[in-house]
Amino acid sequence: MHALPFSDTTCLLVLTGAGISAESGVPTFRDAGGLWEGHDIREVASPEGWEENPQTVWRFYSQRRRGLAKVRPNRAHEALAEVERKLGDRFLLVTQNVDALHTSAGSERVIELHGNLLRSRCTDCARPAFHDERTYDAVPVCQECGQGRLRPDIVWFGEMIDRAALTRISKFIELAARRRTAAGYAELVFLAVGTSGVVFPAAGLVQIVREVGGRAYLANLEESDNSHQFDEVVLGKATEIVPALLAGAR
Ligand code: OAD
């Protein structure tokens, strides 16, 4: 396995999925024993499920919050936080995970595309989403407006991804793509870690990066749905391969 190609001007865009947290003990979605097992996705992760039975939804996310209390970031999360300290604004991390492990590891330039398990928001008033580690047996009411129901700040199936987040990613790619290496590549390296490549828009990032002339690498335990779109696929455990791939960052 080679380290990723870094120069003093390389911009690194990283996409992570459930696989990066697997070795921290957070179950992945689609692997055997995954999170959805025993739960109907529609029931706990869609606006329709919420309307039908918000109490079941809160029980499910409360259970997930309890599970998070015991997990810690691993070497792969830490390696990404370390590389960000070297690259500064030449680094952007997009995660599909809601486990907040990247921020606990010290990452700052993080876009949590699918929300954050430790945040809640009101379904009625304009109060911004807020940090919330509590667990609920009954549906909580917003203390600010006194009437709206609180819900987990998670992007459910059929819901929109935050537009500002998508714009921030596009801008990062655009800026990096303006600069070229001697070999004619864009000064953009894309690394996807621990993701099965089936959920969009995250799964479409590799194609965008390739279209602007960036180089794309996948670090995953097994081939993903879109591995054929990457320049190189490195198979293995995130805690072992991510630190090695990032060794040359400067
Ligand atoms: P998946 O569970 O679909 O895929 C996890 C990937 O990580 C698989 O390809 C595994 O092979 C790989 N993997 C497992 N252990 C690993 C390890 N130790 N090191 C490296 N790779 C490992 O998870 P995501 O791709 O993140 O969306 O799923 C995407 C989205 O689907 C989730 O964010 C969620 C779900 O529906 C929402 O909740 C909106």
> Catalytic pick from 39, 77, 114, 228?
114
Cα(8) to centroid(ligand 1), Å: 31
Strand, coil or helix: what is 40? coil
Q: Answer yes or no: is the C-beta of 95 below 6 A from any ligand 1 atom.
A: no
Q: What is the mean pLDDT of residues 52-68?
A: 93
Q: Pseudo-torsion of CA 18, 24, 27, 30, nearest 10°?
A: 40
Share of the chain above pLDDT 70, in %: 97
Half-sphere exposure of 233 (CA within 13 A, CB side): 17
pLDDT of residue 2: 81
C-beta of 29 in contact with ligand 1 (< 6 A): yes
Model's pTM, two decimal places? 0.95
> Is the pLDDT score of 37 beyond 60?
no
Q: What percent of the chain has pLDDT over 90?
A: 87
pLDDT digits (tens, 9 = 90+) for 5-22: 999 999 999 999 999 999
- Using one digit for the tens of pLDDT, what is the confidence trace for 142-172? 999 999 999 999 999 999 999 999 999 999 9
Atom of ligand 1 nearest to the CA of 221: 21
Query: Predicted confidence band at 36 (pLDDT cuts at 50, 70, 90)?
Result: low
